[in-house]
Amino acid sequence: MKKRHSYLILLLALLSCAPLSARVSNYVGAYGQLGEWSLLPGGSSYNPSFGFAGGLGGVYELQIGPQYSPTCFLLDVGVGAWGGLTVFSIGQSEQFTLANQRDLQNEVFDYIYELSGRKDNYSNLAVQVPLMVGVQHRRFYMLAGVKVGVNVWTQAASKSGLNTYGKYQDSPLYTGMPLYQFFQDDRLKSTNSTNMNLDLAVSLELGGRIGVLNDAHGFDVPDRKIEYRLAGFVDLGLTDVHKAGHNQALILPERYDAQAAYGTRTMVDGAHMNDIMSTEGFASSVRNLTIGLKFTVLFRMPDSRGCVICNENYRRTVGSGGSRSRMKYEE
């Protein structure tokens, strides 16, 4: 029993002394990042989107490690603005039909829309809050954690090639007749305001510190007050960011008005494309994926430290305000 008490007392003593021997540094800084942004549709026949994204933000970092050691533990929290553009390219063509319409001669036909080479461009702006932990050893560092993204503005712009046809019974398709609203190699464009859900992503950052390093700080060692980092990062979303909708891919005019349509573009101007993520059956879920480069500048906050070299002559000279320029760093 006495041995157990002795071990417990020794353990408590070690734990109480550990903070005294640790080096704790506080940093504030700024970062910029640039990368490739994709939306990943799950349970869908559509391929992932492809685009780019960038962001700027601020960060607070706490570094904790053994005194004079080149290795330390990192804790980062921050806030930033993130924005990007990504594009769904839809290769297959789609047809939509207004059945049983009547022309100027009162003949019955089907009016057909054919969309091809469609692209849906999503522009997004979000506020992003990272919470990361990691380790730093000499020039190398690693951070891992989560990032919470709150989407504040999203817009979708849809563009597609368009052909329109008149299909009469036992007759070939009519196209290339603009007076009758049968267009060939035309274009259809639509813009939609849309929303995205909260984005919770796991993040990994691997990189290095740039420039001259100094991991042992004290009043007798010149401090490196600014640190620079360059890293690669990947953010993978865990949550479904799209708001599932029940819209039709193409909203058609109510009917072909032969008198109003003759010599105009009412059948094209009256059609509207909904963005692909708001259409029914697009995907069971959509997740964010961002891969890119990140540059960070950290500024060390003032703190109180003991000596590092601890040479009495050097310490006395510098401690009293003397110049370091002619002093030698001697153990």
pLDDT of 137-167, one tens digit each?
989 999 999 999 999 999 999 999 999 999 9
Q: Categorise residue 178: left if φ over 0, alpha if ψ from -120 to 50, beta otherwise.
A: alpha
pLDDT above 60: residue 168: yes
Strand partners, 138: none
Evaluate the CA torsion angle 134, 35, 148, 210 in order and state its sign: positive
Query: Which of 86, 63, 83 is closest to 75 using CA atoms?
Result: 63
Average pLDDT over the chain, rounded to whole?
85
Average pLDDT rounded to a whole number, residues 71-78:
96
pLDDT above 90: residue 52: yes
Query: Which of 35, 5, 163 is closest to 97 using CA atoms?
Result: 163
What token pair was written down for 136? 């730093």
- Which amino acid is located at 102 in the chain? R
Contacts of 48 (CB under 8 A, 6+ apart): 38, 39, 40, 41, 289
What digits encode the pLDDT tens for the residues 183-227?
Answer: 999 999 999 888 889 999 999 999 999 876 665 555 455 556 889
CA distance 185 to 179: 15
3-state class of 215 per DSSP? coil
On whether the CB atoms of residues 236 and 205 are closer than 8 A, the answer is no
Residue ranges covered by each domain of the chain: 22-319
CA distance 317 to 309: 13
Strand partners, 295: 32, 230
What digits encode the pLDDT tens for the residues 233-279?
Answer: 999 999 999 887 788 889 999 999 998 888 899 999 999 999 999 88
The backbone torsions φ and ψ at residue 119, rounded to the nearest 5 degrees and listed phi first, read -135, 130
pLDDT at 1: 54
What residue spans of the chain are helical by DSSP H? Answer: 2-21, 258-261, 266-269, 312-319
**Roughly how many angstroms between the first and final C-alpha of the chain, as a whole number?**
46
In this structure, how many other beta carbons lie within 10 angstroms of the beta carbon of residue 331? 5
Question: Which of 63-77, 118-132, 155-169 is predicted with the least confidence, judged by mean pLDDT?
Answer: 63-77
pLDDT band at 291 (very low <50, low <70, confident <90, very high): very high
pLDDT above 60: residue 93: yes
pTM for the predicted model, two decimal places: 0.79
